[in-house]
Chain A
């Protein structure tokens, strides 16, 4: 409790400091400009000076550890709230005998694992076919299989498989 209080106090102090700095910079900027220019131009210069000072102060604040800490706390709260609402919705859907997001995610993951296993298998098979072709052409299978696995040409046959698995469609031009 006291730890939390200290953190909050630190953040409040940092925020207060940033405002004090901002205001002092703003006042400095406002009194820096002379009256040589026409009045509207002076006002505009003062205004842009004030904005520059404010932007600088905010940049400093957003780089401070206090801002990082408050951002982290806010993120944690948002994540916890989202988890709670996910759990609640999952319970409601399960009670209604309807699939929850978790159930759908599980199905999606299973499909993706199947796809990955299939693609890996196609990779292996295409490498084997390439090796057999090379052997039948009287070339060194060893050298060719090394070529097909080179980092500059990764998984050359898998793309076609991936395309067909994902159902690409091409429109007539």
Chain B
């Protein structure tokens, strides 16, 4: 009897699976014709915003809120020079920006724009001591507040840390989100691939000018080849009839494939001084005429990291709080999350961002 049951159960299960799968395939096929149209309709940033300051290709966005800000100190998001900043405001329920706006912060975001071949000579000095200082000056004039809250994501986090070390008088609180600081670790494949023995960045920039977006895109995809080239398409095929999955997938993929080039000289400096020589942690990083000393950062610091980040492994971000001169410093590590999940993932929205908003609220006027 028990043998008959153990035989019939899998058999019934197979039959049920066959029917379910047939229905699912029909659903997938019906979703196919609308796929392209839906992909084209994906919004790039969902929170209402206006451009309040422009300089060259830079645009400073101000997010509108229905209510008056609860805190006088404005918050500025500094995004990386790679990819576009709307990942921070990707969609409703997954927007980092919306969390802070809803919490009552007067929120701004720096969109660096897309560099052209004419921008290949821009250096970190131009971005940090030029554009960033001008943005902070403008915001100080606009809001009447001298010291602002700064949140930097990824490469924007590294730039924010450098900016705070060079201009501590501008920053009230600093939040780093998956920002690489210590490049000595070889946990990440990027560190290995960009080492001086494997990669001649001078030859590369001299030949290409700006670092091409396709090159960056390929490098990021090859960090997880099986995940990106095999698992992701299968996952997509299996779930393309699910409206919610499809919406999340298309939104994230649109952003992932929306790469922009990095100005050649910035790329050269970033690879040479950080990936190859790791000068920032040694307080020897040159930016224009100045040397960055992380000990000059004395404001409260919040360091947010993801446990399964392929792009910026924890070992690159973790040492930051030990390198700064601040006494008020905190680290939040979201285990099991990746680089993008830390910003837009469901768990990050529930566990990280409410904490980060509270942390900042307690330290803002």
Residues of A within 8 A of B (CB): 35, 38-40, 51, 54-55, 58-59, 62-63, 68, 71-72, 75, 79, 82-83, 86, 101, 104-105, 108-109, 112, 151-155, 158-160, 162-163, 166-171, 173
Q: How many A-B residue pairs have CB under 8 A?
A: 123
- Interface members, chain B 32-79 (any A CB < 8 Å): 50-56, 62
- Complex alpha-carbon distance, A169 and B207, angstroms: 33
Asked if B198 and A159 make an inter-chain contact with CB atoms under 8 angstroms apart, the answer reads: no
Known contacts A58-B226, A75-B204: does B169 contact A152 (CB below 8 Å)? yes
Asked if A170 and B129 make an inter-chain contact with CB atoms under 8 angstroms apart, the answer reads: no
Shortest distance between the CB of B163 and any CB in chain A (Å):
11
With an 8 A cutoff between CB atoms, is B192 at the interface? yes
Asked if B226 and A51 make an inter-chain contact with CB atoms under 8 angstroms apart, the answer reads: yes
Known contacts A51-B231, A55-B224, A167-B55: does B137 contact A159 (CB below 8 Å)? yes
Asked if B54 and A169 make an inter-chain contact with CB atoms under 8 angstroms apart, the answer reads: yes
Asked if A173 and B55 make an inter-chain contact with CB atoms under 8 angstroms apart, the answer reads: no
A51, A86, A159: residue with the most chain B Cβ atoms closer than 10 Å = A159
With an 8 A cutoff between CB atoms, is B193 at the interface? yes
Known contacts A83-B207, A112-B121: does B13 contact A38 (CB below 8 Å)? yes
Contacts of B169 in A (CB 8 A): 152-153
Asked if A162 and B203 make an inter-chain contact with CB atoms under 8 angstroms apart, the answer reads: no
Contacts of B14 in A (CB 8 A): 39
With an 8 A cutoff between CB atoms, is B330 at the interface? no
Asked if A151 and B207 make an inter-chain contact with CB atoms under 8 angstroms apart, the answer reads: no
Residues of B within 8 A of A (CB): 9-10, 13-14, 17, 50-56, 62, 117-118, 120-121, 129-130, 133-134, 137-138, 142, 166-169, 189, 192-193, 197-200, 203-204, 207-209, 222, 224-227, 230-231, 288-291, 293, 296
Known contacts A68-B192, A152-B168, A155-B289: does B129 contact A39 (CB below 8 Å)? no
Q: A82-B207, A171-B53 are in contact. List 11 more A-B contacts (CB 8 A).
A: A39-B10, A39-B17, A58-B226, A152-B169, A158-B129, A160-B137, A162-B133, A166-B130, A167-B55, A170-B53, A173-B50
Asked if A79 and B203 make an inter-chain contact with CB atoms under 8 angstroms apart, the answer reads: yes
Contacts of B197 in A (CB 8 A): 68
Shortest distance between the CB of B296 and any CB in chain A (Å):
6
Quick one: closest A residue to B287, CB to CB? A154
Interface of B is mostly: helix
Known contacts A38-B13, A168-B134, A170-B138: does B192 contact A101 (CB below 8 Å)? no
Quick one: closest A residue to B168, CB to CB? A152
Shortest distance between the CB of A44 and any CB in chain B (Å):
10
5 A–B contacts from the bound complex (CB under 8 Å): A38-B9, A58-B226, A79-B203, A152-B168, A169-B53
Asked if A55 and B53 make an inter-chain contact with CB atoms under 8 angstroms apart, the answer reads: no
Shortest 8 CB-CB contacts between residues of A and residues of B: A168-B55, A55-B226, A159-B133, A82-B207, A79-B207, A38-B13, A40-B17, A154-B290
Asked if B167 and A153 make an inter-chain contact with CB atoms under 8 angstroms apart, the answer reads: yes
Contact of A54 among B168, B204, B230 (CB under 8 A): B230
Shortest distance between the CB of A83 and any CB in chain B (Å):
5
Shortest distance between the CB of A104 and any CB in chain B (Å):
8
Shortest distance between the CB of B106 and any CB in chain A (Å):
12
Asked if A109 and B54 make an inter-chain contact with CB atoms under 8 angstroms apart, the answer reads: no
Shortest distance between the CB of B198 and any CB in chain A (Å):
5
Contacts of B199 in A (CB 8 A): 72, 75
Contact of A68 among B17, B56, B193, B200 (CB under 8 A): B193
- Complex alpha-carbon distance, A28 and B225, angstroms: 21
Asked if A62 and B203 make an inter-chain contact with CB atoms under 8 angstroms apart, the answer reads: no
Shortest distance between the CB of B188 and any CB in chain A (Å):
11
Asked if B192 and A63 make an inter-chain contact with CB atoms under 8 angstroms apart, the answer reads: yes
Known contacts A162-B134, A163-B137, A167-B55: does B193 contact A151 (CB below 8 Å)? no
Contact of B130 among A51, A108, A109, A162 (CB under 8 A): A162
Shortest distance between the CB of A123 and any CB in chain B (Å):
9
Known contacts A71-B198, A151-B296: does B51 contact A62 (CB below 8 Å)? no
Contacts of B222 in A (CB 8 A): 62
Asked if B137 and A68 make an inter-chain contact with CB atoms under 8 angstroms apart, the answer reads: no
Asked if A55 and B55 make an inter-chain contact with CB atoms under 8 angstroms apart, the answer reads: no
Contacts of B134 in A (CB 8 A): 159, 162-163, 166, 168
Known contacts A51-B231, A155-B129: does B189 contact A40 (CB below 8 Å)? no
Asked if B121 and A108 make an inter-chain contact with CB atoms under 8 angstroms apart, the answer reads: yes
Contacts of A68 in B (CB 8 A): 192-193, 197-198
Asked if A168 and B53 make an inter-chain contact with CB atoms under 8 angstroms apart, the answer reads: yes
Asked if A171 and B290 make an inter-chain contact with CB atoms under 8 angstroms apart, the answer reads: no
- Complex alpha-carbon distance, A153 and B50, angstroms: 31
Contacts of A51 in B (CB 8 A): 226-227, 230-231
